[in-house]
Amino acid sequence: MTRFPIDEFQGLRTPFYFYDLKLLDQTLSDIKRTARDPRFKVHYAIKANANPGVLRNIQAAGLGVDCVSGGEIEAALEAGFRGERIVFAGVGKSDEEIRFALEANIGCFNVESEPELLIINEIAGEMGKKAAVALRVNPNIDAHTHEYITTGLAENKFGINLELLPAMIDKAISLDNIDFKGLHFHIGSQITETEPFVMLCETINRLQNEYNAKGITFSSINVGGGLGIDYAHPERRPIPDFENYFKTFHNHLKLRDGQEVHFELGRSVVAQCGSLITKVLYVKEGTTKKFAIVDAGMTDLIRPALYNAHHKIENISNPNGELHHYDVVGPICESSDCFGKDELLPTISRGDLLALRSAGAYGEIMASQYNCRKLPHSVFSAQ
């Protein structure tokens, strides 16, 4: 359970991200324990949070890293990740980024289109290198029952459609400077049920049977990320159910001898260890509503404005006060700059500190300087 050292918070500039490093370490230990199958290789999707203090702990725990830009590869190298533990994904890798990744001797490129494959082959040739490549497949998993799967559909920009895959595999195998490793998938994010992952395993099993029959084998299968967390109850399950997650792949994925499975978890690794701490500037009484106007806004945490997401709000200055309803809003000149409507919270006064929970993933890293605001800073718990 995250404890907020409220006395230490007094006098700090707000807003800031508070990272509970003890919880992060417990989460990482749990991943190591539950992913103990030696064929399983867990990578951290750095786009969720690239704070150096957070990254150092993840690197120390022995995870690899999944990057989607040259800047992320730089951040990963700075945090001590070795090149061979880096995979590089994304639909639009620039020539400079490809060159940089090859110089860093990264472990694998996850390739999403034929022109990209050809450019990687060309640049690797110029550099006298061979690029390890996995092809990102769009598994077209039926979304009717799972509307949260947003990246695995046919009309999506991500991945290679199943019909185009055979020609792409042939191409990858035929190119001189490409070392074809296998297939990559990523079906979506914030998935809190087991079924989509079972469906993914079944798709992979079917593809492996089909291609093995044609004499094509894959040394690595990358199943992506997407494991969700409990935003409504950050204390009920502060560590996601990794046991069930890895067991699902262990039980359903039919692996070939010597095959590795790569996982790329982002949100589930870091979301619960981070909170955005903000100070109440004013309590404004409307005719029917009370507004708590806080000094954090969508520039510090954009998920509510961007995805209509809700982060649990706590009044950590007055946790046991009498309950009232408040709209908790930020100072930015956008009406979407709102963290919660009719939130039932202990009496809020000017100067109180509020915690927006479960903000460790896609929080600080998405901060902007809109309205010429300062970026939020970060504070760490004792480890």
- Cβ proximity to ligand PLP: between 149 and 305 the closer is 149
Pairing of strands 220-222, 377-380: unpaired
> Counting contacts by CB under 6 A, is residue 267 touching ligand PLP?
yes
Q: What whole-number distance in Å separates Cα of residue 282 and Cα of residue 93?
A: 45
- Cβ proximity to ligand PLP: between 148 and 370 the closer is 148
**Apex CA 315: angle with CA 30 and CA 51, to 5°?**
45
> Counting contacts by CB under 6 A, is residue 48 touching ligand PLP?
yes
> Counting contacts by CB under 6 A, is residue 238 touching ligand PLP?
no
- Cβ proximity to ligand PLP: between 264 and 343 the closer is 264
Dihedral of the alpha carbons of 14, 17, 23, 24, in degrees to the nearest 10: -160
Give the CA radius of gyration of the chain: 22
- Cβ proximity to ligand PLP: between 332 and 367 the closer is 367
- Cβ proximity to ligand PLP: between 223 and 353 the closer is 223
**Which listed range, 44-52, 78-86, 208-216, 306-314, lies at the site for ligand PLP (CB under 6 A)?**
44-52
Contacting ligand PLP within 180-209 (CB under 6 A): 186, 189
Tokens of 232: 């409504």
Which phi and psi (to 5°) does residue 42 adopt?
A: -100, 125
- Cβ proximity to ligand PLP: between 104 and 265 the closer is 265
Q: Choose among 357, 152, 177: nearest CA to 273.
A: 357
By the 8 A CB rule, do 187 and 224 touch? yes
Smallest distance from the beta carbon of 222 to ligand PLP, in angstroms? Answer: 8
> Counting contacts by CB under 6 A, is residue 45 touching ligand PLP?
yes
Contacting ligand PLP within 86-105 (CB under 6 A): 89
Among residues 175, 265, 273, 280, which is the contact residue for ligand PLP, using CB under 6 A?
Answer: 265
Smallest distance from the beta carbon of 300 to ligand PLP, in angstroms? Answer: 19
Q: In one letter, which amino acid is 28?
A: L
Residue 142: CB atoms within 10 Å = 12
Which residues contact ligand PLP (rule: CB under 6 A)?
Answer: 45, 47-48, 66, 68, 89, 186, 189, 224-227, 264-268
